[in-house]
Structure 1
Amino acid sequence: MSYVIGIDLGTSAVKALLLDRSGAIIAEASRDYPLFHEHSGWSEQRPNDWVDGTLGAVQDVVQKAGVPADSIEGISFSGQMHGLVLLDEAGNPVRNAILWNDTRTTAECREIEQTLGSDLLSITRNPALEGFTLPKILWVRKHEPEVFTAAKLFVLPKDYVRYKLTGELHMDYSDAAGTLLLDVANKAWSGAVLQAFGLPASFCPPLIESHGLAGTILPEAAAGAGLSTATKVFAGGADNACGAIGSGILKDGLTMCSIGTSGVILSYENGSGNDFRGKVHFFNHGKQDAFYAMGVTLAAGYSLTWFKNTFAKGESFNELLSGIDQVRPGSNGLLFTPYIVGERTPHPDAVIRGSFIGIDGSHERIHFARSVMEGITFSLNESVQLFREAGKTVDTIVSIGGGAQNPVWLQMQADIFNADVVALENEQGPGLGAAMLAAYGCGWFDSLDACADQFVKRAATYKPVPSAVEAYAGLFRIYQDVYGQTKSLNDALKSYRN
């Protein structure tokens, strides 16, 4: 028997999955690591904490499974996107990594817009947002010039881990697309963008396909992880690209809804022809020569976690949501907007904050809980609407993450999205996608699509209920008005926040 390992390098922890040739998960393990918030809006991690965590998690799954090291043919990665890791001449980090959820770079985003003008969207296919990598590079150059002078090259989080395992530097296209330095359609670092900001081509690592062979395990890393030095290491992809692969989003007509801390609506694109004019993200897929469009809700599952921690501390989510199915669509006239950390799609606004609209004396906690779930789903539906307005058919949505763990929420998604919503039997998201890239890279399958046929197993399908669809359509129109009606109020309140 032979195996592959998928490694999901997240913001709070790294998770490793060991799978056999049938796609069955034999063992899994995770290791967490610290997050540093030195100032408001800052979010950093130590790159070597990722390496230590990855080696530990891999060693744990190998030991749990009790399989010989030489039976593990390949490993690959899913990684948190956008995080800046600056390396010196010797390949060592010159500072902590600046993460995707760091918001210190608003001034640099405006500089990028003014410098590139219309080339920003025509080349990178994405707007300049604080989470992306190029604004972070410019921030370090401006505020830490000595540190920047020592930096010779940048990579993203999973690329650094892979480098420490193999000694080889690469970046795959799906992750490179989130840097604002890639010519997305032409799959090359943009000379025009690099020149505009005075960055040499050598500052960017070599590009590679997500299933491309990046090397084999170095002896020291193999000893730390319990692997063989013959184990093949494949490049891997951005977490959302890998989530799409692990959900089988590999052909036209398929869309994914992922509700984790943040929320994502992701739709497969067979080519780069669709122009969403920056209203949604447009990235290279982990599948070769494919793309995906993506809308993001910054505080999706986080909104529900916030609500539980604030109003039901010590209770489980099951206790909090008990009886949620008895509340009719619309939560008795109560509407929530999940802007508690700002918003991304369709409103790239770091200042806007959330609201409960329509509170009256009849509302109980269960109404508030359901309205939070509905508000999160309404926010995600704004991305679905943008896809439909661009001419895409969205009739089947594969749902993963926390939103796929509750049948009431799955039905709510079907009703609000007005589409069939599919849950998965073996929902492992990005980690499964990383394992599939390793299986495909090892030659177990002729294509990622064939791998998905074996590895991705669908469970229940939730059909939209016409009466609920109609009710939610009216509520959604009201929801869309809340942003414009509360923006000026939130702008005025900004100076009163800690």
Structure 2
Amino acid sequence: MAYVLGLDLGTSALKGLLMDEIGTIVGSATADYPLIHPASGYSEQDPNEWLKACESVFEQLSATVLDFGQQLAGISFSGQMHSLVVLDEDNRVLRNAILWNDVRTTTQCERIMADFGDELLAITKNIALEGFTLPKILWIQENEPELWAQVRHILLPKDYLGYWLTGTMHMDYSDAAGTLLLDVAKKEWSQAITEQFNIPTDYLPTLIDSSGQTGTLNRPLAEKYGIQQEVKIFAGGADNACAAIGAGILTVDIGMVSIGTSGVFLSYEDQQLPTYQGKLHLFNHGIKDCYYSMGVTLAAGHSLSWFKDTFAKDQSFETLLAGVDTIEPGAGGLLFTPYIVGERTPHVDSQIRGSFIGIDTSHTLTHFAKSVLEGITFSLKDSQQLMETIAGKTFGKIVSVGGGAKNSDWLQMQADIFNSEIVCLEAEEGPGLGAAMLAATGLGWFEDLQACSETFVNYRPGATPNPQNVEKYQKIYLVYQKVYSATKVISEAFGDES
């Protein structure tokens, strides 16, 4: 039986997921690589480390899956969004990649929005934030002009890995949408943006659908791992788009909540583009001619980890959260806002800081733990509410993935706060599964991603809303929404003092 390989190029590791034609996981492999922090707020990576990691994944799979070399038919990718890779005219990497979580570009973002903000929003459907690629390009122009003079190619991480495997340079629409250089509606590089910021359009790669073929695995690499047959390579997608595909987010009535270090609330959008006016991110999907919207909570799981490490360092998460189900919604009048590193949605505010509101002598550690879980979930509900009020969405089902799907009490909280059925994935493989599905669809194993999803994606029950708790949380959420404006001035005052 033939295999597809989904390569998920993340921030800390490359993960390979090998699957067969009926959606069975045949093998998996992971190879780590280091982050580089040359200065405060800087986050970089050596692209050569990604290539070494890819060879390691190939070596692991060829050693553990006996017919890997004979049955591998296709490869596709999921990649960390926004991170900038620049090459010279000989296709050599000029500097470390500047990653999505690098925040050195505040000045560039302010200039973009002041000089071109309305036009940028109209074209890209997003506002300029430090994570995006365009501000990173401007930073190089301004701070490394001699290096910029050598630049001839601009890529994102997975596309550089794709170039190394095939010798061709492409970028899919879902990743291109995160550069702030793509006309999202027209699906082409924006001449207005590239001219405004002096970026030659021929520095940008050929655009292609996520399941489009970019080439075949180069022969020297194939022969190294005993691969005799032609292996087709497909463009792949941005990590959030691939995570959505791997979670079956392929219709407008299904949402996804992902709680990792940060948190994401994501929704499928069809051909009718909503007008979120920058309040939510809006990107091209890995599904042809479709889109997805998403809101971000900067410190979702990070808030819980911080709370545990600070106040219950010697306890496990299981011990810390035991008993939260015995406390009524609202944690006895205690509210937590997860703004401990600033916030993204719906408040683009780097200075706002988190808070516990309503502390009294009756509150125990368990009350505080419950309020942290509720606060994280309320923050993600902010994104859900924007989708419902602006785009008129109704979510019949929400797929919960990440840390929030591992605790049954938290799942019930999500069902009650989101007022929606919560389901989880039988096998949570993340963006790598979406990448494998793109390869399977590109090979023609399935008519489209919807058909592929029926074979590759399976759910298990999570939680259903408790009507009494839903009513309580609706009232508490209205109070939660007032905390931001009530603490904004205080946070800014402390920020000015520091």
The answer to whether TM tops 0.5 is yes
Instruction: Please tell me whether the aligned partners of residues 117 and 127 of structure 2 are also in contact (alpha carbons under 8 angstroms).
Output: no
1-side partners of 2:239 and 2:386: how far apart? Answer: 22
Instruction: Please tell me whether the aligned partners of residues 211 and 440 of structure 1 are also in contact (alpha carbons under 8 angstroms).
Output: yes
Instruction: Please tell me whether the aligned partners of residues 84 and 136 of structure 2 are also in contact (alpha carbons under 8 angstroms).
Output: yes
What SS class does the counterpart of residue 177 from structure 1 fall into? helix
2-side partners of 1:433 and 1:69: how far apart? Answer: 22
Aligned to 1:389: 389
Aligned to 1:94: 94
Answering whether residue 452 of structure 2 is matched by residue 437 of structure 1, we say no
2-side partners of 1:131 and 1:68: how far apart? Answer: 37
CA 1:315/1:20 → structure 2, altered by over 3 Å: closer, same or farther?
farther
Instruction: Please tell me whether the aligned partners of residues 408 and 462 of structure 2 are also in contact (alpha carbons under 8 angstroms).
Output: no
Equivalences for residues 349-364 of structure 1 within 5 A: 349-364=349-364
Aligned to 2:477: 476
What SS class does the counterpart of residue 179 from structure 2 fall into? coil
Equivalences for residues 73-472 of structure 1 within 5 A: 73-222=73-222, 227=227, 230-390=230-390, 391-472=392-473
- Deviant stretches of 4+, over 6 Å: none
Task: Give the letter for the 2:423 counterpart.
Answer: V
CA 1:229/1:150 → structure 2, altered by over 3 Å: closer, same or farther?
farther
Cα deviation, residue 58, structure 1: 3.3
- Gapped regions of structure 2 (runs ≥ 5): none
1-side partners of 2:162 and 2:323: how far apart? Answer: 46
What SS class does the counterpart of residue 346 from structure 2 fall into? coil
CA 1:183/1:25 → structure 2, altered by over 3 Å: closer, same or farther?
same
Cα deviation, residue 157, structure 1: 1.0
1-side partners of 2:314 and 2:5: how far apart? Answer: 35
Task: Give the letter for the 1:367 counterpart.
Answer: H
Instruction: Please tell me whether the aligned partners of residues 217 and 228 of structure 1 are also in contact (alpha carbons under 8 angstroms).
Output: no
CA 1:3/1:486 → structure 2, altered by over 3 Å: closer, same or farther?
same
State the percentage of identical aligned residues.
56
Cα deviation, residue 283, structure 1: 0.5
Give the aligned CA root-mean-square deviation in angstroms.
Answer: 1.6
CA 1:168/1:411 → structure 2, altered by over 3 Å: closer, same or farther?
same
Instruction: Please tell me whether the aligned partners of residues 125 and 184 of structure 1 are also in contact (alpha carbons under 8 angstroms).
Output: yes
Instruction: Please tell me whether the aligned partners of residues 69 and 225 of structure 2 are also in contact (alpha carbons under 8 angstroms).
Output: no
Equivalences for residues 47-86 of structure 1 within 5 A: 47-86=47-86
Cα deviation, residue 200, structure 1: 1.0
1-side partners of 2:400 and 2:309: how far apart? Answer: 25
1-side partners of 2:61 and 2:364: how far apart? Answer: 45
CA 1:327/1:14 → structure 2, altered by over 3 Å: closer, same or farther?
farther
What SS class does the counterpart of residue 413 from structure 1 fall into? helix
1-side partners of 2:321 and 2:462: how far apart? Answer: 21
2-side partners of 1:373 and 1:338: how far apart? Answer: 9
Task: Give the letter for the 1:405 counterpart.
Answer: K
Cα deviation, residue 16, structure 1: 1.0
Task: Give the letter for the 1:454 counterpart.
Answer: T
Instruction: Please tell me whether the aligned partners of residues 115 and 196 of structure 1 are also in contact (alpha carbons under 8 angstroms).
Output: no
2-side partners of 1:106 and 1:145: how far apart? Answer: 19
1-side partners of 2:224 and 2:398: how far apart? Answer: 40
What SS class does the counterpart of residue 387 from structure 1 fall into? helix
Cα deviation, residue 365, structure 1: 2.0
For structure 1, which segment, 373-382 or 65-74, has the greater mean C-alpha deviation from structure 2 after superposition? 65-74
Instruction: Please tell me whether the aligned partners of residues 82 and 99 of structure 1 are also in contact (alpha carbons under 8 angstroms).
Output: yes
Cα deviation, residue 100, structure 1: 1.0
2-side partners of 1:472 and 1:225: how far apart? Answer: 56
Instruction: Please tell me whether the aligned partners of residues 100 and 131 of structure 1 are also in contact (alpha carbons under 8 angstroms).
Output: yes
Instruction: Please tell me whether the aligned partners of residues 78 and 237 of structure 1 are also in contact (alpha carbons under 8 angstroms).
Output: yes
Aligned residues: 497
CA 1:353/1:85 → structure 2, altered by over 3 Å: closer, same or farther?
same
Cα deviation, residue 289, structure 1: 0.6
What SS class does the counterpart of residue 116 from structure 1 fall into? helix
Task: Give the letter for the 1:122 counterpart.
Answer: A
Cα deviation, residue 363, structure 1: 2.1
Cα deviation, residue 229, structure 1: 6.4
- Gapped regions of structure 1 (runs ≥ 5): none
Cα deviation, residue 251, structure 1: 1.8
2-side partners of 1:42 and 1:471: how far apart? Answer: 43
2-side partners of 1:226 and 1:52: how far apart? Answer: 18
For structure 1, which segment, 125-134 or 319-328, has the greater mean C-alpha deviation from structure 2 after superposition? 319-328
Task: Give the letter for the 1:465 counterpart.
Answer: N
1-side partners of 2:95 and 2:312: how far apart? Answer: 39
For structure 1, which segment, 151-160 or 215-224, has the greater mean C-alpha deviation from structure 2 after superposition? 215-224
Cα deviation, residue 425, structure 1: 0.7
| Residues 186-206 of structure 1: CA deviation (Å, up to 9, x unaligned) | 100000111111111112111
What SS class does the counterpart of residue 150 from structure 1 fall into? coil
| Residues 436-460 of structure 1: CA deviation (Å, up to 9, x unaligned) | 0011111111111000011110110
Normalised to the residue count of structure 1, the TM-score between the two structures is: 0.96
